[in-house]
Structure 1
Amino acid sequence: MTLAKSALIVALLAPAVALAASPAIYKARHDNFEAMGRAMKGTADSFKSGSPDIALIRANAAVLAAAAPKVTKMFPKGTGVEGNPKSEALPAIWQKPAEFAAANKRLVDATVAFKAAAAGGDMAAVQAAFGAVGGSCKNCHETFRKPRG
């Protein structure tokens, strides 16, 4: 087979490969955000209980710090509503990639700070750091995710 034929075959198959990979990326993205949501809710519920469980908060902080850096990698071009009509991703993710990356960096930084505060155990610092994570989440949701409801 010639190099030209090989290149043609690759070019013709590339869209099919991308489509085949799309369900996996949507699932990975969904699962990552679900894990983050559970960690946020678990932490918020612990604070609301009146007797925050620092072990639970530390575990949730670790989940958030591990999940946050994955976010920007989970939005390859073509994985918006054009690939999955249920996607809540707004076109701004791909139209403003530098802004999306900056928003994700703020999230990563906030989750790292939250994890560090949780390790320290000062509940006032932990709560403040958790608030910064929530603010970072909210900022991204308002800018890069379809409104719910």
Structure 2
Amino acid sequence: MAESWASSEQARLTMVANRSKNTTPELAVRALLHARGLRYRVHFRPVPTLRRTADIVFTRQKIAVFIDGCFWHACPEHFVMPRSNPAYWVPKIEGNQRRDRETNDALRAAGWTVTRFWEHDPPAQVADRIAAVVRELAS
């Protein structure tokens, strides 16, 4: 059996348990947007040929919303690089950041507005900002 990337079995179990979609911050923002009468797609590829899925997508206005986790996307406010297993984590986190930049560039080149928020951003503020962008692009 191949050796795990995790530094311990407990670390592996913790990482496997992390959700990639329908996270608590996403659900909170979605509930607020829905309560405001906004309708959207969830976990949707804005550009079908691009293997990137946005958390919330407004197809008519061409808005892609990402709610990034502080650990996985290296939030400048909260991220701390793990001290164990740096040979795994440094390229993993740097790769995530590179993919985020490439995603932003590819979506913008295809005519999409990209908005990114951190998981620690207050859901009401995130929903306010998203609603403002939707209103701006709908007019």
- Taking structure 2 as the reference length, the TM-score comes to 0.32
* Structure of higher CA gyration radius: 1
More helix by share: 1
- Taking structure 1 as the reference length, the TM-score comes to 0.30
